[in-house]
Structure 1
Amino acid sequence: MNAEAGHDTLAVPGGAPIKLWTRGVPVEEAARQQLMNTARLPFIFHHLAAMPDVHLGKGSTIGSVIPTVGAIVPAAVGVDIGCGMMAARTSLSAADLPDNLHALRSAIEAAVPHGKTFGKRDAGAWDEAPAGVDAAWRELLGGFRRIADKYPQLERTNNRLHLGTLGTGNHFVEVCLDEAGQVWFMLHSGSRGVGNAIGTLFIQLAQDDMRQHLANLPDRDLAYFKEGSRHFDDYVEAVGWAQDFARHNRALMMRNVVAAARRIVAKPFVADVEAVNCHHNYVQRETHFGHDIFVTRKGAVAAHRGQLGIIPGSMGAKSFIVRGLGNEQAFCSCSHGAGRTMSRTQAKKVFTVADQVRATAGVECRKDAGVIDEIPMAYKDIDAVMAAQSDLVEVVHTLRQVVCVKG
């Protein structure tokens, strides 16, 4: 492994090299092997980039940046298409928040559907879509119709009623304070049920199309569409639409979070100051090293020079508003968070509710068995993660959460 400024380079026999921004943070061997599998695909451009939050994923590695020419791997984008972050600074200061934050958390929980599906009722969807949801859906409807006309099974997804909703797992809504005591709202979610259905459908189609060649792939989830092939253009259209859905989804939630806060906080305030809305599971065309390519960011954020992004910690840990430094070696990218050090299943075995209570002291949030898998100790040290990518981004604001809503 050859040391270079800010990163290390791993040579891959029969594949493209991998550049890793992982100094000072652990990288599991399974994730390293998964990166090498991806690097051996025949259409990787120049090199693969691994961010400091890199960890094992399904098919391809979370925290990786995959540049390709003439092909896309649907499983590299994944099923939470367009998942990402939104943050908005307000004119409020810490002193303007109520002493007891439970009412604020409850108001946000009431304003943003979240949680799992229980029985026949989807607890994380709207029963009746508010006017703002319907207005946003009208903007998305034409594109959805074009896709669903070709793939009618997508009509059965919970699409409109998931718009403006949070979901589960590591998705969250937070109230945070920056280094000056200014109040921010921050949230994390993606394209919900319809994005999952699109991702699942096209991952299966890629595997079906490559049925005769799957044995030659290091992992069947690395099945891909070649440009000009039967389903390539349909996938590009569908994934672009799902990414648009995700962006609308976050904007709607943010609007409802702000409205909920206004019902609890006595002082009038404005939000949207320095608002950021960024994906971290997506694919798009970009130009790098003089070539027009596809860049898939699987758990990574775009960090073009001057571009604002968000790198959240875990529950109880710091988060960061960052500005990109435009590092071409990383394809102008940075990490999307701290990155897990253990699976959700393992975290539930290792830690207790008492551990969760201690780890989230000072944060108004759920402290029960249902969120142990999100305990901060299941994640890498966010300070080490930020130090490892100091040549990718500069920190603009450091945030600490005081309220956290989980699905």
Structure 2
Amino acid sequence: MKREKISNSELEQLGVNDLELLVAFGRVANGLLKHEVMDKATVLANLEALIDDPAPYALKKNGKFKNIADKILELRNEGKFFKQPRTMHQLKDEISDFPVFGLQHIEVGALAQMKTAIQLPIAVAGALMPDAHQGYGLPIGGVLATTADTIIPYAVGVDIACRMCLSIFDLPAGTVDTEKDKLKTLLSEHTHFGMGSKTKVHFDTTLFDRPEWNAFRTVKVLKDKAYAQLGTSGTGNHFVEWGELTVSEGSLEGIPAGSYLALLSHSGSRGFGGSIANTYSAIAMQKTQLPKEAKHLAWLDMQTDEGQEYWIAMNLAGDYASANHHEIHNKIARALHLEPVMRIENHHNFAWKEKMADGTEVMVHRKGATPAGEGVLGIIPGSMSTPGFVVRGKGEVTSLNSASHGAGRLMSRSAAFRTISKSAVDENLLANRITLMGSDIDEAPMVYKDIHAVMAAQTELVDILAEFQPRIVRMAGAKEKPED
């Protein structure tokens, strides 16, 4: 692998034109790259921040950038090398129209965030799904198409490539009752939840033979963590559950009408994806200056090293998230001594290179939105006691070929703890014949919107092919910090 270097011209673009300082910057920057202390994008982001405000770096005893920070402060005391003026990208004055599906189900904060996003100078089109609620930058349930050469880390989200996966087994749905203890044991033995959860036994690790793991340092240093967490599910709204899948005649190719035992999982790219998101979101906000209300929508230029690095890392996180689900499903299928007759999966929290109806190439960010191109299969879950649905996309142009990724939260986690009692949750679970392993009040069924109302609001976007009713649900233990 060719070692990365930072050129004088790249340093000059940061405003470094003092010869002595240029030499010092180059020595420090390339030394950090040579010894693989940081990757190129992180070094450049630190140097840019250092030029803006050297004081924090100068105060760090034995810090990597202390000497050049001291030098900048010295020059400024002499009336030289002051902070360089930076370009502030302005939002568009007019707010373009964007479709809102299920407006009556969407909070004001999510609408406001989408209006800000559509005002970005790089925004081409947007849409809001009926499960939308407020998040960071782009609302969860928001879809944003930007110019093809830009990508917004926060519009992808922190849990990159969060994913749904459904395995259908040729067993009657009643197995959730007749073999309840066995199915609970399979979840206990083959799923792992929690912030630092790891696995020691793997089913298939061929993903780690991919060259991208050694492409640049940001990914390279996370490889061991990703390997250890392969086949784990994290916290928050992530789950693995057994349920009853009801299929109508002719809806799923090769699956006769009837009710089947099915396994459904929801999780993402774990600590690997979270670290990538945090690193490149910080770089984007450093590189792209935006008004305060839009700062989390900072983008990376796909023509730059950091833009290309994020693109490679994001796509690797997508494949890693898929491999995570396959580990869980394959281990459980092996223990069950039965291969699934069908597996359906899709991810959200991702960016895709696509074309608009008029042929314009764009980058489509789906933050908590399911791809719903014509004929594309997907899964839209409800809550732990309400149905989820296998769907087929209709390719609706106005929604940017998207649909909701779930029911969507009705209240925050803190509000859930304030307003919902454990007895109310227990009563709900009992009424719906749900066996719950783990979780807490903040994931109670009543914190989510009515999934039936959400589905009714997107009949233009998807056709329902099958209905999944959760019965045995496993989630992270109570008090675990949510990662979703």
- Gap change, CA 1:35 and 1:405, over 3 Å in 2: same
Q: Are 1:195 and 2:273 matched, yes or no? A: yes
Counterpart residue number, 1:144: 213
Task: Note if contact 1:133-1:160 (Cα within 8 Å) is conserved in structure 2.
Answer: no
Counterpart residue number, 2:334: 259
Task: Note if contact 2:176-2:243 (Cα within 8 Å) is conserved in structure 1.
Answer: no
Q: Are 1:105 and 2:187 matched, yes or no? A: no
Task: Note if contact 1:105-1:365 (Cα within 8 Å) is conserved in structure 2.
Answer: no
Q: Are 1:43 and 2:110 matched, yes or no? A: no
5 Å-filtered alignment, 1:300-379, equals: 300-361=369-430, 362-366=433-437, 370-379=439-448
Secondary structure of 1:365's aligned partner: strand
Secondary structure of 2:174's aligned partner: helix
5 Å-filtered alignment, 1:2-401, equals: 14-23=94-103, 25-45=104-124, 47-69=125-147, 70-99=149-178, 101-116=180-195, 122=196, 124-126=197-199, 128-130=200-202, 132-138=203-209, 140=210, 142-148=211-217, 154=222, 158-179=225-246, 180-210=258-288, 213-214=289-290, 216-262=291-337, 269-273=338-342, 275-289=343-357, 290-361=359-430, 362-366=433-437, 370-401=439-470
Residues 185-220 of structure 1 show CA distances to partners (whole Å, capped at 9, x for unaligned) of 11111100101000110001111213xx23x35232
Q: CA deviation at 1:102?
A: 3.6
RMSD over aligned Cα atoms = 1.9
Counterpart residue number, 2:60: none
Task: Note if contact 1:363-1:404 (Cα within 8 Å) is conserved in structure 2.
Answer: yes
Residues 236-268 of structure 1 show CA distances to partners (whole Å, capped at 9, x for unaligned) of 111111111111111111112223444xxxxxx
Task: Note if contact 2:133-2:140 (Cα within 8 Å) is conserved in structure 1.
Answer: yes
Gaps of 5+ in 2: 1-91, 247-257, 477-484
Q: CA deviation at 1:97?
A: 4.3
Deviates more, 1:384-393 or 1:240-249: 240-249
Higher-Rg structure is 2
Secondary structure of 1:161's aligned partner: helix
Q: CA deviation at 1:20?
A: 0.5
Letter in 2 for 1:313: G
Query: How many Å separate the matches in 1 of 2:137 and 2:474?
Result: 30
Letter in 1 for 2:308: D
Query: How many Å separate the matches in 2 of 1:319 and 1:238?
Result: 30
Residues 341-381 of structure 1 show CA distances to partners (whole Å, capped at 9, x for unaligned) of 111111111112212212222011137xx521111110100
Query: How many Å separate the matches in 1 of 2:283 and 2:244?
Result: 45
Query: How many Å separate the matches in 1 of 2:122 and 2:292?
Result: 13
Q: CA deviation at 1:227?
A: 3.1
Query: How many Å separate the matches in 2 of 1:67 and 1:97?
Result: 42
Task: Note if contact 2:170-2:341 (Cα within 8 Å) is conserved in structure 1.
Answer: no
Secondary structure of 2:178's aligned partner: coil
Task: Note if contact 1:112-1:256 (Cα within 8 Å) is conserved in structure 2.
Answer: no
Task: Note if contact 1:366-1:406 (Cα within 8 Å) is conserved in structure 2.
Answer: yes
Query: How many Å separate the matches in 2 of 1:129 and 1:366?
Result: 22
Query: How many Å separate the matches in 2 of 1:97 and 1:207?
Result: 48
Task: Note if contact 1:174-1:186 (Cα within 8 Å) is conserved in structure 2.
Answer: yes
Query: How many Å separate the matches in 2 of 1:152 and 1:96?
Result: 44
Secondary structure of 1:193's aligned partner: helix
Residues 96-150 of structure 1 show CA distances to partners (whole Å, capped at 9, x for unaligned) of 445362441232121122123xxxxx3x211x243x2433433x4x2111133x6
Q: CA deviation at 1:53?
A: 0.2
Query: How many Å separate the matches in 2 of 1:272 and 1:301?
Result: 23
Query: How many Å separate the matches in 1 of 2:152 and 2:292?
Result: 12
Task: Note if contact 2:176-2:242 (Cα within 8 Å) is conserved in structure 1.
Answer: no
Letter in 2 for 1:125: K
Task: State the percentage of identical aligned residues.
Answer: 31
Secondary structure of 2:435's aligned partner: coil
Letter in 1 for 2:102: T
Q: CA deviation at 1:385?
A: 0.2
Query: How many Å separate the matches in 2 of 1:360 and 1:98?
Result: 15
Task: Note if contact 1:133-1:163 (Cα within 8 Å) is conserved in structure 2.
Answer: no
Task: Note if contact 2:214-2:220 (Cα within 8 Å) is conserved in structure 1.
Answer: no
Task: Note if contact 2:244-2:262 (Cα within 8 Å) is conserved in structure 1.
Answer: yes
Letter in 2 for 1:21: F
TM-score, L = length of structure 1:
0.86
Letter in 2 for 1:60: L
Secondary structure of 1:66's aligned partner: strand
Q: CA deviation at 1:59?
A: 1.6
TM-score, L = length of structure 2:
0.73
Query: How many Å separate the matches in 2 of 1:336 and 1:313?
Result: 9
Task: Note if contact 2:389-2:467 (Cα within 8 Å) is conserved in structure 1.
Answer: yes
Task: Note if contact 2:173-2:243 (Cα within 8 Å) is conserved in structure 1.
Answer: no
Q: CA deviation at 1:18?
A: 1.8
- Gap change, CA 1:260 and 1:371, over 3 Å in 2: farther
Higher strand fraction: Structure 1 or Structure 2? 1
- Gap change, CA 1:97 and 1:380, over 3 Å in 2: closer
Deviates more, 1:63-72 or 1:223-232: 223-232
Gaps of 5+ in 1: 1-11, 117-121, 263-268
Q: CA deviation at 1:13?
A: 5.4
Counterpart residue number, 1:3: none
